[in-house]
Amino acid sequence: MTAGIAPAEALHSPDATTRTRTEQPYLSPYLAGVGLGLVLLAAFVLVGRGLGASGAFSAVVATGVSAAAPEHAAANPAYTAHLGDGTTSPLEDWLVFEILGVTLGGALSAFLAGRFRLSIDRGPRTTDRSRLMYAFGGGIIMGLGAKLARGCTSGQALTGGALFSVGSWLFIVGAFAAGYLAAPLFRREWT
Amino acid sequence: MLANQGNGLFLALVIGVGFGWFLERGGLGNARKLAGQFYLTDLTVFKVMFSAIITAALGLFWLSRLGVVDLSQVYLPPTYILPQLAGGVVFGIGFVMGGLCPGTSCVAMASGRLDGLALVGGMLGGILLFNGLFPVLEPFYHSTPRGDFTLPMLLGIGPGTAVFFLVALGLAAFVAAARFETLRASRE
């Protein structure tokens, strides 16, 4: 276990071998996928719904805005859906607790595999600062896209994909087509 | 399905832990691995996503066939043709720019990655921006509704046939991915 604060110049790791020597290799992507599929299946069977992620972010934003500007939130239908009748916090929500679990499960898995480490993932030709700006900008664009599509890679691609929802498959096709088309613009960031 | 809200939230946490665990185990907390999908240097995203979709679709089909699950009780995301296609396009640009998606950004952050944290912040900003623009975007957001609309309904096939084609296409794509990787390795 070599977790801890790394010196700033060591934050960037050009490849997996230099990250730490004690790191376990990743699980086969097919096994990880089957595991993920079984978790999704458990959600379908036990709760009657699939997985999600962007909805939890949305609940956090609704909570913040309703606390900072309650009148603005009450007048905007984008918020009233989260706020309900106002008797329960938007944070008392299935997706919020699921995403807390995702964060916990991710930390636990990384820690046990010796992969927990303060770092920034980027290609060798860019800077940490630039990478963080692109991550923030990418997050803004994905926030817009996920709201418009009513879900992200979890709620639409995985969940709706497994349920054969036409809208979810349109989301998958749109996202990957746009990703490949836009990829040359961001080549410097990654390769 | 679960009457008790507290139990429901606890189950949400447990299911989330499983979700985060397998995302991290598969390497999906690592933005370079995710971005590699778009430069065809790492096909992990495709392999994980499609084996998960196949597993869940196949499992749900058989559990419903055996009477364990009532499919009408499983929430199906409703279809809005144009908003979901456009939302997917916008999302895809953000995906290759940010290198993580909303769920995997939480895993990246949880494994100590500052780019994951930055992306989480960006997501919150993007949602705030969308909500601010919502009065303008609302007509488009509600446009082309199709309600519960599935590929079997669109293609006029049974659910079993749809699962069969999904699995067959997935397996063919996995073989193609393996051949592509062998070819690329032999060229290097």
pLDDT tens profile A127-181: 999 999 999 999 999 999 999 999 999 999 999 999 999 999 999 999 999 999 9
Whether residues B23 and A137 touch (CB distance < 8 A) is answered with no
| pLDDT tens digits in sequence order for chain B, 188 residues long | 444 567 789 999 999 999 999 999 999 999 999 999 999 999 999 999 999 999 999 999 999 999 999 999 999 999 999 999 999 999 999 999 999 999 999 999 999 999 999 999 999 999 999 999 999 999 999 999 999 999 999 999 999 999 999 999 999 999 999 999 999 999 87
* Distance (Å, whole) CA B87 – CA B23: 23
B44 to chain A nearest CA, in Å? 6
* Distance (Å, whole) CA B103 – CA B22: 12
In the stretch 101-130 of chain A, residues with CB closer than 8 A to chain B read: 101-110, 113, 115-123, 128
pLDDT tens profile A20-45: 558 899 999 999 999 999 999 999 99
Helix-strand-coil percent breakdown of chain A, rounded to 5?
A: 70, 0, 30
**Cβ-proximal residues to B40 (8 Å cutoff; 6+ apart), any chain:** B180, B184
Residue in chain A nearest B6 by alpha carbon: A92
**What global pTM score does this model have?**
0.92
Measure CB to CB from residue A77 to each of B23, B96, B134 and give the nearest one: B134
**By the CB < 8 Å criterion, does A18 face chain B?**
no
A50 to chain B nearest CA, in Å? 8
Instruction: Tell me if B129 sits within 8 A of A150, measured CB to CB.
Output: no
Whether residues A61 and B129 touch (CB distance < 8 A) is answered with no
Biggest CA pair distance of chain B: 58
CA atoms within 13 A on the CB side of B146: 18
Whether residues A135 and B115 touch (CB distance < 8 A) is answered with yes
**By the CB < 8 Å criterion, does A60 face chain B?**
yes
**By the CB < 8 Å criterion, does A49 face chain B?**
yes
A67 to chain B nearest CA, in Å? 14
